[in-house]
Amino acid sequence: MLEVIHVSDTHFGPDRSLSIRGANACERAEALVAAIRALPFVPDFIVHTGDVVNDPDRAAYTLAAEVLADLPAPVYYATGNHDDVPMMRAALAFGEKEPLLPDAEDRLCYRIAGTAGEKVDFFVMDAKVPPSEGPHGYLGDAQITAVLDRISGTKPVAVFLHYPLVPIGSRWIDEHLLVTNGLEFQRALAEKAGPSLRGVFTGHLHRGLTLYRDGILHSGVSSPACEFSAAPGDTSCEFIAGGPIPFHHLTFTPDATMVKAYSLPFSPASPR
Ligand SMILES: [Fe+2]
């Protein structure tokens, strides 16, 4: 049994003042950390599926590192479209991991190591494209091959990345925010992992998501900073600020994958 906390899209600014449509990103991330610390159990690890900061800026990563250091378990990060990998590597503390592209310093593609990695093959992938092309994602062949080759075949498999792989039924999101070769990757992943595939866990949408396609669970967690609209006919992205503080508690047992969604009222964390 493994207990995992899934968070995403904290969007820290370079100082504590960054406000997104009137909602203070740092205060809301602190409330997220406080809520996880208040859980009556200690998770095995925590995954942050990207957009740690709002703009790639060393001061923003320093602030993020300071706040997220209070999380009660090792943390693993995926690259969001707002992130910068060298700055993430320099500022953030990662749990024990096995790099899958050892020569790619600007990519976060790895397998979670340690005790958790002995039970489940957890992969973190990096689908960021140049900012001039995004905000969609794309998975390169080297990364896909590296992950597929590392699937042991004897353990459950789960994949974490920032960008959803498959359409969610909302026009603007489906046209702008997905991994453009996500369906192709999903097919290859399903073929290699078979029934061992436990799910694909994502952020980016700033909206909770449960989607089941071709027998595969896709679970997305929303952002504590602000939510996005996701109506079927959306032709743009509306920001919905001031909502609840979201995170997911994932449980992996030998037989099941469980997702418990938290959506807590925001109250500023008490000063540390
Ligand atoms: Fe985001």
CA of 258 to the centre of ligand 1 (A): 24
CA of 223 to the centre of ligand 1 (A): 7
CA of 11 to the centre of ligand 1 (A): 7
CA of 103 to the centre of ligand 1 (A): 27
* 120 located within any domain: yes
* 15 located within any domain: yes
* 188 located within any domain: yes
Confidence at residue 10, expressed as pLDDT on a 0 to 100 scale: 98
Domain that holds residue 188: 2-264
Dihedral of the alpha carbons of 70, 5, 153, 184, in degrees to the nearest 10:
-110
Give every CB contact of residue 218 below 8 A, 6+ residues apart in sequence: 164, 165, 166, 199, 200, 201, 202, 209, 210, 211, 212
CA 219, CA 6: separation in Å to the nearest integer?
Answer: 10
* 271 located within any domain: no
* 221 located within any domain: yes
CA of 204 to the centre of ligand 1 (A): 5
CA of 138 to the centre of ligand 1 (A): 16
CA of 142 to the centre of ligand 1 (A): 25
Confidence at residue 102, expressed as pLDDT on a 0 to 100 scale: 84
CA of 35 to the centre of ligand 1 (A): 20
User: What is the tally of structural domains in the chain?
Assistant: 1
CA of 119 to the centre of ligand 1 (A): 30
CATH of the domain at 235: 3.60.21.10
CA 242, CA 17: separation in Å to the nearest integer?
Answer: 15
Confidence at residue 154, expressed as pLDDT on a 0 to 100 scale: 87
Q: Which amino acid is at 97?
A: K
Q: Are 32 and 245 in contact (CB under 8 A)?
A: yes
Confidence at residue 271, expressed as pLDDT on a 0 to 100 scale: 58
CA of 108 to the centre of ligand 1 (A): 17
Task: Output the 3-class SS for 38-53.
Answer: CCCCCCCEEEECCCCE
Strand ranges (DSSP E) for the chain? 2-7, 19-20, 23-24, 45-48, 75-77, 97-99, 110-112, 121-124, 157-160, 197-202, 209-213, 216-220, 226-228, 239-241, 245-252, 257-264
CA of 243 to the centre of ligand 1 (A): 15
Confidence at residue 152, expressed as pLDDT on a 0 to 100 scale: 86
CA of 257 to the centre of ligand 1 (A): 25
Confidence at residue 111, expressed as pLDDT on a 0 to 100 scale: 98
* 113 located within any domain: yes
Confidence at residue 241, expressed as pLDDT on a 0 to 100 scale: 86
* 122 located within any domain: yes
* Strand 197-202, strand 216-220: pairing: parallel
CA of 79 to the centre of ligand 1 (A): 11
* 89 located within any domain: yes
CA 80, CA 164: separation in Å to the nearest integer?
Answer: 11
- Which pLDDT tens digits describe the chain residue by residue (272 residues)? 999 999 999 999 999 999 988 899 999 999 999 999 999 999 999 999 999 999 999 999 999 999 999 999 999 999 999 999 999 999 999 999 999 998 888 999 999 999 999 999 999 999 999 999 989 999 999 999 999 999 988 899 999 999 999 999 999 999 999 999 999 999 999 999 999 999 999 999 999 999 999 999 999 999 999 999 999 999 998 999 889 999 999 999 999 999 999 999 998 876 55
